[in-house]
Homo-oligomer: A and B are copies of this chain.
């Protein structure tokens, strides 16, 4: 399972495979060939086989792939068999939305605490958590085995808070702040830049419109 140098492009596709396999599983489909899956997902069968074989041989020649087995293997590759402890920094609309989204819990991502600097929010109950002041952040992280911090704060605060959390041992950030976090090599950052996404949509709309001239 530990082949080196899995390309970024492959990693990007893994969750989508998992989603389709999950749906097949729910439909009680037992086996699927790369050809069938390729038609469903609208990618080439060749790519599917190449992608899977980055991690080992999950199929059987002449038969295809067992849906349940393949699903479990990909889930394992994605680390979904482990549990993670998360905190949310920033209890605004987005922070609350993420805290309330139940599906993350089911995948092993457990929200343990939520923090904000706005004292009007202190003590506010969000799901089963109470909003805590930023002054509690460092102690809480150390005491609760937190491994992922979700940043839903303005970009002006994000870099500073990230540095602070790195010092407390946090090694992974899910960053919704619209800025790049320049952290050490052993710290991982997954950015969700919503406005970038909206701009890309805008780009395609604009291009489509001008094509009709």
Contact = CB atoms under 8 A, between A and B. Distances in A.
Interface of A: 2, 6, 11-12, 14-16, 18-19, 77-80, 82, 84, 92-94, 96-98, 100-101, 103-104, 107, 109, 147-148, 171-172, 174, 178-179, 186, 188, 190, 192-208, 210
Contact of A190 (B79, B190, B197): B197
A206 B92 CA distance: 29
Contacts of A101: 93-94, 194
Given A97-B92, A107-B199, A188 B210 contact: no
Oligomer: number of copies: 2
- Residue among A2, A16, A199 with the highest chain B CB neighbour number at 10 A: A199
21 contacts: A11-B200, A11-B203, A11-B204, A15-B193, A19-B179, A77-B203, A78-B203, A79-B203, A82-B206, A93-B93, A93-B96, A94-B94, A94-B101, A109-B202, A171-B205, A172-B201, A174-B197, A174-B198, A174-B201, A190-B198, A192-B197
